[in-house]
Amino acid sequence: MKVSRREFVSTAGCAASASLCALPTFGFAANNSGLRAPASCALLDLKSNCVLRESLEGYRIGLGTEHRSLSEGGLDALGVHGTIIVPAVGTIDLATASALTAALNSGATVVLESGAAFLSASDFAAHHSVLAEYFGISIGRSTELWMANAPKHIPGESLRRPGKQTATGHESVPYVTYQWPHETCVRDFSRAIPVSAKTGRAIAHLGELPVAWRKSIGNGTLIYLGSPIGPAIRASDAEAYAWLRAIISKSV
């Protein structure tokens, strides 16, 4: 079924409310000493081209005060980067794509979180074209996560949570299985974008579909997330927060 951005937020909120008693208080994200994002960690706000503002908010909560906030215009002026996180990317301005490529060539780790599942057909085509031209990434049309017949599972699927009734009224909440930077499963309440490239490797799957990819560009590393993880961080998902912590740790 199709899920609008409004429905996405509502569903995520319901699931978060149902799971609060099972998760640690989310104040841990800002105060937990396990994540101390270096000053060179930057969060890039694409404004209207960030198609899930709750994802941006999730990263802000997860990173606390230990990061730099950037606008598109400030990307070139920041200098040497460690990690740049770009939440819920919709259309990508060519100047921004060029600046991110330059940062990658200089040794940065860039996390591009896809918002392509929420784009119109024309904007999706533009997103697809920029990814191919600047980053050598290919994406497919979104995959619904609430389909009755889920994709076949891959080795390591035991990490998935058992199916159960949730506040959304569905039998179970779908999980994306991450193999890197550590093995974990993170909830996704809407859709995921299949992703591939000629170099690098998949780091997360929905069943057999690769939905996140890591590859080297210049001296840096590109991580493309076909399943938004920011909303899960905002919804107090401990696994999503741990994944973010591990990414930052790998980049310092």
Q: Which amino acid is at 217?
A: I
Q: What is the per-residue pLDDT across 183-234, written as a single tens digit (0 to 9) for each?
A: 999 988 678 899 999 999 999 998 889 999 999 999 999 999 999 999 999 9
Q: Which residue has the higher pLDDT, 250 or 85?
A: 85
| CA separation for the pair 14, 11 (Å, rounded) | 5
Lowest mean pLDDT among 19-28, 47-56, 173-182: 19-28
CB-based burial, 142-175: b 16+ in 10 Å, e otherwise: bbebbeeeeeeeeeeeeeeeeeeebebebeebbb
Q: Which residues contact 123 (CB under 8 A, 6 or more apart)?
A: 90, 91
pLDDT of res. 76? 63
Q: With bands split at pLDDT 50, 70 and 90, how would you rate the model's confidence at 20?
A: very low
Domains of the chain and CATH, by start? 5-251 (3.40.50.880)
Q: What length is written for the chain? A: 252
Lowest mean pLDDT among 22-31, 53-62, 64-73, 223-232: 22-31
